[in-house]
Amino acid sequence: MQSKVNLYNTFKNILVVDDEENARTGMSRLLAAEGFDVQSAGDGYEALEYLRSGSFRLVISDLNMPNLDGIDFLQIVRREFPEINIIILTAAGGTGSYLQAMNLGVAEYLCKPIKFDALKSVMYSIARREAQKSD
């Protein structure tokens, strides 16, 4: 089923948001190695700058960040960019943050550490939903 959806065409430009440099760099490198154009940001404010100046269909974001936390970031993204798909990755998630994120329309909420194959599987699921919307 995954072969029927082209991830590169669906999510050519991806924004990775994480205050932890190693996590951000690692995720960005893995995605770039798969052929995606990847930008990365260390917090929500920097991510908003990228979103306002670029064309992204997917954001992969940490939840707990300094300056502008993940929930506040999500609220702004939903208001300004309702068409963007968002995957939340968090090491410190709880029921409250999960419910808040889901109510804000995130595509997926995953707990760290996550295997890259699992992330790609989630991306395929989101891409299939996107394809169904346009049919």
> Which pLDDT score is estimated for 92?
75
Query: Quick one: tokens of 90?
Result: 């968090």
Cβ burial of 8 (10 Å; 0-12, 13-18, 19+) is: exposed
CB crowding 100-120: b at 16 or more within 10 Å, else e: bbeebebbbbbeeebeeeebe
Rounded CA-CA distance 56/132 in Å is 19
Backbone angles phi, psi at 62, to 5 degrees: -70, 160
The model's pLDDT over 78-117, given as tens digits with 9 standing for 90+, comes to 999 999 999 999 887 677 788 888 888 899 999 888 899 9
> Which pLDDT score is estimated for 93?
66
Residues 6+ apart with CB under 8 A from 107: 85, 86, 87, 122, 126, 129
Domain count, the chain: 1
> Which pLDDT score is estimated for 5?
72
> Which pLDDT score is estimated for 1?
43
Residue 94 lies in domain: 2-134
Question: What CATH number did the domain enclosing 23 receive?
Answer: 3.40.50.2300
> Which pLDDT score is estimated for 135?
63
> Which pLDDT score is estimated for 71?
87
Low-confidence ranges of the chain (pLDDT < 70): 1-4, 93, 135
Q: Which pTM was predicted? A: 0.91
